[in-house]
Amino acid sequence: MKLSVVIPAYNESENIEKTVRAFYDKLKEESIDHEILVINDNSKDNTLEVIEKLEKDIPTLRHLTNTAPNGYGYACRKGLENYEGDCVAVTMADLSDDPADLVKYYRTMEKKGCDMVFGDRWCKEAKVVGYPRKKLWLNRLVNHCIRFLFCFKYKDVTNGFKLFSRETMDGLKPFISGQFSLALELPLKGIIRGYSYEVVPNNWYNREIGESNLKLKAMFFRYTFILNYCLNEKLFSMGDYKKDKIKKGR
């Protein structure tokens, strides 16, 4: 089972090499067949130059440039339309996600045969370092509201670090989000449409260099839109997008 790792990158020249090397070294150590696909989101710094230089040293690395429209979600979508693996994960360019956790995701999917593997940063086995307090309270409030609205137990649905099988990812199209709300759209659609999932602990580390592009006010409106979109599907779609119905045909 080949693993694709999609890394959207906007002005991450100081972080992208460390991130790519960390994931490559870990996946190589674990003998996992993989590719690393970096999406340069029309960066204004020398991110592209760093990636092109890295490609000469890392045989599993390739890149694409997302010209327009730009944004986290659009860059991810560029990667999710062009990856080559049997399963795919999206991770941040600032190494906030732990490569060892991706190995856990992969092994879990191998062992359980599930469609998706989700991380949980808030269980006692996980480690979270430097998470901004304001963002933390908002995160927990939003996740509790989502659990109530959609009636499931998973408590970290806004966590963008997840693994999906190719069949599942194809079943979640078309993608709607162009920004960080894509991290919410994908798992909600997956759960609503009946794809199976497992949850494992995952660590999170705040970036050491640069600033996050996440804007809380804009995120609120975009997340609200996606929540309404997915809730409408859950309540009114008559199961037309369910995994079993798609497999059987109409």
- Helices 16-29 and 99-112: angle between axes, nearest 10 degrees: 40
Residue with tokens 């449409």: 193
Residue with tokens 């649905």: 157
pLDDT digits (tens, 9 = 90+) for 142-191: 999 999 999 999 999 999 999 999 999 999 999 999 999 999 999 999 99
Residue 218 has pLDDT above 90, yes or no: no
Q: Walk me through the domains of the chain, giving residue ranges and CATH numbers.
A: 3-248 (3.90.550.10)
- Helices 133-150 and 216-236: angle between axes, nearest 10 degrees: 10
Answer positive or negative: Cα dihedral of 159, 165, 168, 174: positive
Cβ(164)–Cβ(190) under 8 Å?
yes
Nearest by Cα to 131 from 156, 169, 96: 96
pLDDT digits (tens, 9 = 90+) for 108-149: 999 999 999 999 999 999 999 998 888 888 889 999 999 999
The predicted structure's pLDDT at residue 214: 58
Phi, psi of 85, deg, nearest 5 = -80, 180
pLDDT digits (tens, 9 = 90+) for 87-98: 999 999 999 999
- The number of C-alpha atoms within 13 Å of 111 and in the hemisphere containing its C-beta is 8
Beta-bridge partners for 38: 7, 63
Nearest by Cα to 164 from 181, 147, 189: 189
d(CA 20, CA 126): 22
